[in-house]
Structure 1
Amino acid sequence: MATVGLFFGSFNPIHTGHLIIATYMAHYTDLDEVWLVVSPHNPLKRKDTLINMYDRLEMVNLALEQAEKIKSSTVEFSLPQPSYTIDTLTHLNEKHPEKTFVLIMGSDNLASIKKWKNYEVLLRDYRIYVYPRPGFSIAEWEGHPAIRITDTPLMEFSSTFIRNAVKAGKSVRYFVPDGVLRFIENKGLYL
């Protein structure tokens, strides 16, 4: 049975940090593959800063052109919005009974998991692979049977950083893959 890591995100835009995390999870853990699940609308984030989900998906696909064991997923595009992780997992389990799903999340998300819909069910029924984010303690979760803290390299920049840099006219080369940079420039995104 294949084990798939689900890396949920707005990917607004996808950046090198996301790719390093996904690559680490796909190649340095026991996961068979990683799916980047493009979320139309995260209930804990403001919707007005999000660009069109199809543009975000296109950037993810451009970023993954050379990737091994990593692919995009549009599963949440057809589900009610905002998307709740537990509902997406229920849907994926029905659609892919031959796969085992593992959640991939940053320590920032783990720190706020008690705000998530049915978080107790997530912790009971799923494994969660956690990557470090600066400034977020996960000490209370150490030793929890569902939680695996990984040695993923620490990423100190975010999509917010990228959006603000583009808006300010600064270079984001190497922060995002070349194809993503061209897409942002050609569509005039984040200006």
Structure 2
Amino acid sequence: MKIGLFFGSFNPIHIGHLAIANFMAEYTDLEEIWFVVSPHNPLKNKASLLADHHRLELVKLSIETYPQFKASNIEFGLPQPSFTIDTLSYLKEKHSKHQFSLIVGSDNLSSFTKWKNYELLLQNHELYVYPRPGFKDEDVNLPGIIHIVPAPLMEVSSSFIRQAIKEKKEIPFFLPAQAYQYIKEMHFYEK
């Protein structure tokens, strides 16, 4: 089975993430999309993250009705900080019959050469690249199989959602209903 790994902090997951994943599942050869909730991105500040289990729960609530989507906490048990190459090695060992590809935003391409063992990553895994505001994927020259996917441009971001909630804005249409309800009940991002 060909699986697209959509890594992220999902802090919180929102309609943009889901729309991109849905596009990948329907318009590419990827058979499943796994949302890999990252406990700590080495390039991001850990202090601003909601607890791992809450972000995983938000993903699970958001995708429960779509059978091609899976929530993964695979990185929770791996050494921190987590690196994509290590996660992929672990997944390959655990699920040897699956073929894993990466789903990344075009904004990641300019810094891709900073990723740990990026050459090995590109040698063994295909990249599916979706557009991000302000980034041009045609300027990037990386070796390997890279699919530039003409997914809709999504300008909603997790940081926008966190700020809106902090400002006491009602934004129910930017998140899946179940995730929005959970965030409100738990009073996440209010301070």
Scaled by the length of structure 1, what TM-score is found?
0.96
Which has the larger displacement, 62-71 or 155-164? 62-71
| 8 Å contact from structure 1 (residues 141, 147) kept in 2 | no
Unaligned runs of at least 5 residues, structure 2 = none
| Aligned equivalent of 1:122 | 121
| 8 Å contact from structure 1 (residues 111, 137) kept in 2 | no
Matches of 1:44 and 1:143, distance apart in 2: 20
Q: CA RMSD in A?
A: 1.2
Q: What is the CA distance between 1:143 and its match in structure 2?
A: 8.3
Which has the larger displacement, 15-24 or 144-153? 144-153
Q: Write out per-residue CA displacement over residues 148-186 of structure 1, whole angstroms, 9 at most, x where no aligned residue.
A: 100111101100000000001111211001111111111
Matches of 1:128 and 1:106, distance apart in 2: 10
| Aligned equivalent of 2:95 | 96
Matches of 2:142 and 2:98, distance apart in 1: 25
Q: What is the CA distance between 1:28 and its match in structure 2?
A: 1.0
Matches of 2:70 and 2:21, distance apart in 1: 10
SS at match of 1:112: helix
> Aligned pairs, how many?
190
Structural mapping, 1:145-156, within 5 Å: 145-156=144-155
Structural mapping, 1:58-97, within 5 Å: 58-97=57-96
Sequence identity of aligned pairs in percent?
Answer: 54
Matches of 2:143 and 2:131, distance apart in 1: 16
| Aligned equivalent of 1:10 | 9
Which has the larger displacement, 169-178 or 85-94? 169-178
For the pair 1:135 / 2:134, whether they are aligned, the reply is: yes
Matches of 2:28 and 2:143, distance apart in 1: 18
Q: Write out per-residue CA displacement over residues 23-63 of structure 1, whole angstroms, 9 at most, x where no aligned residue.
A: 11111100110000000000010001001000000000000
| Aligned equivalent of 1:105 | 104
